[in-house]
Structure 1
Amino acid sequence: MSKTSNATRLDNAESLSADVIVVGAGLSGLSAARELSRRGLSCLLLEARDRIGGKTYSKAPPGIVSKIDLGAAWINASNQERTYRLAREVGADLIEQNTSGSVVLQDIDGTRKTFPYGEIPPFDEESRAQAAHIRDQTELDCQTLDINNTQHPERDNMTFADYCRKHTTNEAALRTANMWTRAMLGQEATDVSALYFLSYCRSGGGLLRMRSDQEHGGQYLRIRQGTQYLSTGLASLLPTDKCAIKLKTRVTSVQQTSDGVSVSTSATATASGSDPPAATTYRAKKLISAVPYSMLTSIAFQPQLPDPKNILAKSFNYNSYTKLMLIFRTPFWQKRGYCGLVQSFTGPATIMRDTSIPADNTWVLTTFPCGTSGRAWQALGRKEREQAVLEQIGQVFDAADIVKEEFITSIGHDWNEDEFSGRGCPCVSLPPGVLGRVGGALREPVGNIHFAGTETAVVWKGYMEGALRSGERVAEEIVEALGMAPSHKI
């Protein structure tokens, strides 16, 4: 049965669209739908985009065989078991992240420093000691943090920059810490709550694990077919007699009723030229919000969401986080002894990584212009942005002429212009003073409305693993709320 005919059947069943409506067909929404369908509940997924996958978004540039990840890109096999299991289930080919060769630091004055992967950059002796100190202090505080306890007022009322200044005044160490928040959240250390950043790191096992490109780390494995393959694969596993997906369907309002929810939608305008579905209303017993929290402000809720939810929705924010992938004829950086990892205090890209697909003879450097330097870069025209990053690549690998000869094309996605991601990526974050005040409401249901999404996860927040786990959590909430026996799934 096709998904269209299935949606019609669900719409006509007992005058309900489904047992559960899921807003958003990214990994969290798809994960929830799969778990609910396993328990015999029907699900209708409403997706505003003309594709499924959310922040898993993979495209092949013209003339290139391989699909390039414009959004989420990495997993690991040891402590991201949901994602790894899904990758195996859908037959994804895995690529180990390259860490063979030197890392490059582009210092504040533009000079290059090279060093082995896993070591501290070759600053002067005092700066190296202070960079190690702030790294170790952050790691210690991550590891001893109870992620479910948001009542740490001292840490929540200061920025991560303030937290770092309590432990060091060394400028190189402070710039290094600011690079962590830029690379991981697109935020300046002056803008994010210290408690939120520590909690974010704790969800991934600590700062060191979350930043690692090696086994057990956050950036260890990639998907040859692109990570959107995980989303389309998961969608294909949904039973067609229980689940349907409607694309180009924007949820505009949600009204709670005595026996469930009533959801109004409108058609999403697209550039494809195809006719979107007509605006309509659906009803269900339960609703799952599987969109970024910042998107909740675009939906009219009746009755209104409680104040803590509204405060979170208005406070969660992105700064600037963009990916630009540059494709070359050969992996010239590898031939020159570099692993492809670059850390930069100057930008425009704060971080670069080798995201090549050797089996396809596709050689790629993924660059991350983010934070303040990324915001300035975004103000340039498309060609100027490309040229600025190419010049930076030439500088950091001391290979300006080679870059010009080897460059083929680039592909990117400006997540700050992506309305349905909440205009940002990879994960929303909070400024000081919010998490301790209303963080306890983050995962709390509101009547028949339940909240998923990677930012609600307590394990691997901001990653695909967190999204999948959040879907499982809300599915279990709904099963129990409907009086069904829990699955006792670990």
Structure 2
Amino acid sequence: MASKIHDVIVVGAGLSGLQAAYDIQKAGLSCIVLEARNRVGGKTWSVPLANGNGTVDIGAAWTNDTNQALIYAYTQKFGIELIKQNTEGNCIFQDKDGETHAFPYGTSPKFTGANVTDLERIRDLVHDLSVAYGSRTGSVEDYDQMSLEQFVISKGGSQKTVDMVRIWSRVMLGVEATEMSAQYFIEYNGKGGGLKTLRSDEKHGGQYLRFREGTQSVSLNLATLLRPKSIHLSQPVVSITDTPGLVTVTTSTGLTFQSRKLILSVPTPLYQDITFSPPLSGGKLTVTTSTTLGYYSKVILCYSSPWWTSLPSGLNACGLAISYQSPVCVLRDTSTSIDGQYSLTCFITGLPGTIWSKLPQHERRAQVLSQVYRLFAGTQSKDDDKEKVKEEVYNPVEVFEQEWTKEEWSKGAPCPVMGPGVLSSVGKALKEKVGNLHFVGTETSDVWAGYMEGAVRSGVRGAKEVIDVLGGERVGAKL
């Protein structure tokens, strides 16, 4: 049996759990954190290159310095250096037939005039609806009973537009546009300021800034602010028993811990891996069993130079590519030139990702390299230039591959998604407490859900809930 009854136990040492524990301890209450992994950070995971040239983020990677205020405040508090996402140069689009073309960053691919107009019309419609939600003025109609794809079709979207929305759905949430509620997608974007904001790499945008030493640097620094021996790693929680005034937690190692309150900071669908007594029921159970995590993988190709910025044809590529082919739907330049780290991050998500994931590792890697070659070689007019591109693509200095869906304690990324009908029926139950149990995580945030900012904000909320009940100094969001 446990030898001490803590004020609070936090399950999960990602950003939301660490933030909750920090606020609770600042309020003078006792708190420990139980983490299943052998590290802190959750989906923030930064790995150094073998050659010593910097790090790569195989999990969360971007922030900004304006509307993601809490994460930005931590970068200032901890002296974490931020670098701007490269947007200088041309993007590349790859169509269904494999044909490629370049287009300036900030513009639409070179579709026919009618298709460009239609794509921008649907983009603006989703953006306006999401901004209306975010400003709490609300949309005229609720679209929860239809999928995102059905929504686009109902608004007269062309096939080219539907195909692009499928890319949005895959790269943003790892699911197909047929699997996600249109209203959920609208609200998800609204929590971050609108579709255009979430997709932007420029000032105020979701992908404006990256972390020189990786996003895990926030989690690692935050963990040092907790009292010594507060974090217990490699302790997967298998059961939670809630009785009046006392919560008992058992881990897979056979250890037992007790507390007056508990904050659960794991992805909602993973609640099913824990035995609750009494069992979760009602809306909380429905939310748990009805939210899904998309298929999400990153393959990061590291090179000795940023060869894509000086292609033989003279095309100055910024490293952003969008593809209707598979397995890679989006490619990003994730270099840190100051450290000599030059990388292209390939996003492999949704249904194409699940198909790709079944292949042996060497075939998965071969498919990725082949597609990256076709993306850049297709912009070259001479065979000799294509050979030069091939030589560059097929000679990475290091390759990282992370399948978040196969990671035991995440099972997908970036956050749980709701299909048609779920949000309107039980969406409010997502962050509702049950007995002595409180629930946090980026998906429960009203601001920047799915992002690091949302995770930290949810941790602030969860801490305030238990502090208000147990007493102690109120701390809010002050860092």
Q: Are 1:329 and 2:304 counterparts?
A: yes
Q: 2:370 aligns with which of 386, 391, 398?
A: 391
TM-score, length of structure 2 as denominator length: 0.93
Is this contact kept in 2: 1:19–1:41, CA < 8 A? yes
Q: What secondary structure does 1:441 align onto?
A: helix
Cα deviation, residue 58, structure 1: 1.3
My pick for the range that moved more, 163-172 or 194-203, is: 163-172
| 70 and 376 in structure 1: CA distance in 2 versus 1, 3 angstrom threshold | same
Is this contact kept in 2: 1:30–1:471, CA < 8 A? yes
Q: Are 1:173 and 2:161 counterparts?
A: yes
Cα deviation, residue 93, structure 1: 1.5
Aligned to 1:233: 221
Q: One-letter code of the match for 2:408? A: E
Q: What secondary structure does 1:105 align onto?
A: strand
Aligned to 1:262: 248
Aligned to 2:380: none
Distance 2:144 2:136 in 1: 14
Is this contact kept in 1: 2:119–2:157, CA < 8 A? no
Q: Are 1:420 and 2:409 counterparts?
A: yes
Q: Are 1:374 and 2:362 counterparts?
A: no
Cα deviation, residue 150, structure 1: 10
Cα deviation, residue 228, structure 1: 1.1
Percentage identity across aligned positions?
40
Aligned to 2:390: 401
Q: One-letter code of the match for 2:35? A: E
Q: 1:155 aligns with which of 122, 133, 143?
A: 143
Q: Which ranges of structure 2 fall in alignment gaps of 5 or more residues?
A: 378-385
Q: Are 1:63 and 2:51 counterparts?
A: yes
Distance 1:75 1:229 in 2: 13
Aligned to 1:434: 422
Q: 1:250 aligns with which of 189, 214, 236?
A: 236
Distance 1:184 1:221 in 2: 17
Distance 2:359 2:252 in 1: 34
Aligned to 2:468: 480
Cα deviation, residue 149, structure 1: 10
Aligned to 2:383: none
Matches within 5 A, 1:267-346: 267=253, 279-336=254-311, 337-346=316-325
Distance 1:106 1:343 in 2: 6
Is this contact kept in 1: 2:62–2:210, CA < 8 A? yes
Distance 1:154 1:199 in 2: 10
Q: One-letter code of the match for 2:198? A: M
Q: What secondary structure does 1:397 align onto?
A: helix
Per-residue CA distance 1:438-465 (angstroms, 9 max, x = gap)? 0111111111100000000111110000
Cα deviation, residue 168, structure 1: 2.1
Distance 2:27 2:472 in 1: 9
Cα deviation, residue 169, structure 1: 3.7
Q: Which ranges of structure 1 fall in alignment gaps of 5 or more residues?
A: 1-7, 268-278
Q: What secondary structure does 1:179 align onto?
A: helix
Matches within 5 A, 1:449-464: 449-464=437-452
Cα deviation, residue 60, structure 1: 2.1
| 213 and 146 in structure 1: CA distance in 2 versus 1, 3 angstrom threshold | closer
Is this contact kept in 2: 1:147–1:199, CA < 8 A? no
Q: One-letter code of the match for 1:364? A: S
Q: What secondary structure does 2:285 align onto?
A: helix
Aligned to 2:381: none
TM-score, length of structure 1 as denominator length: 0.91
Q: One-letter code of the match for 2:144? A: D
Cα deviation, residue 91, structure 1: 1.8
For the aligned residue pairs, the C-alpha RMSD in angstroms reads 1.9
Per-residue CA distance 1:130-163 (angstroms, 9 max, x = gap)? 0011001101111112688999985111000011
Is this contact kept in 2: 1:254–1:300, CA < 8 A? yes
Is this contact kept in 2: 1:104–1:114, CA < 8 A? yes
Q: One-letter code of the match for 1:262? A: T
Is this contact kept in 2: 1:98–1:354, CA < 8 A? yes
Per-residue CA distance 1:387-412 (angstroms, 9 max, x = gap)? 21111111111154233464222102
Matches within 5 A, 1:94-173: 94-145=82-133, 154-173=142-161
Q: What secondary structure does 2:409 align onto?
A: helix
Is this contact kept in 1: 2:291–2:417, CA < 8 A? yes
Q: One-letter code of the match for 1:372? A: L
Q: What secondary structure does 1:155 align onto?
A: coil
Cα deviation, residue 486, structure 1: 4.0
Q: What secondary structure does 1:126 align onto?
A: helix
My pick for the range that moved more, 200-209 or 382-391, is: 382-391
Aligned to 1:348: 327
Q: What secondary structure does 1:113 align onto?
A: strand
In the comparison of the two structures, how many residue pairs are matched?
464
Q: One-letter code of the match for 1:65? A: N
| 369 and 284 in structure 1: CA distance in 2 versus 1, 3 angstrom threshold | same
Aligned to 2:38: 50
| 437 and 214 in structure 1: CA distance in 2 versus 1, 3 angstrom threshold | same
Cα deviation, residue 63, structure 1: 3.0
Cα deviation, residue 260, structure 1: 2.3
Cα deviation, residue 62, structure 1: 2.9
Is this contact kept in 2: 1:30–1:235, CA < 8 A? yes
Aligned to 1:276: none
Q: One-letter code of the match for 1:263? A: V
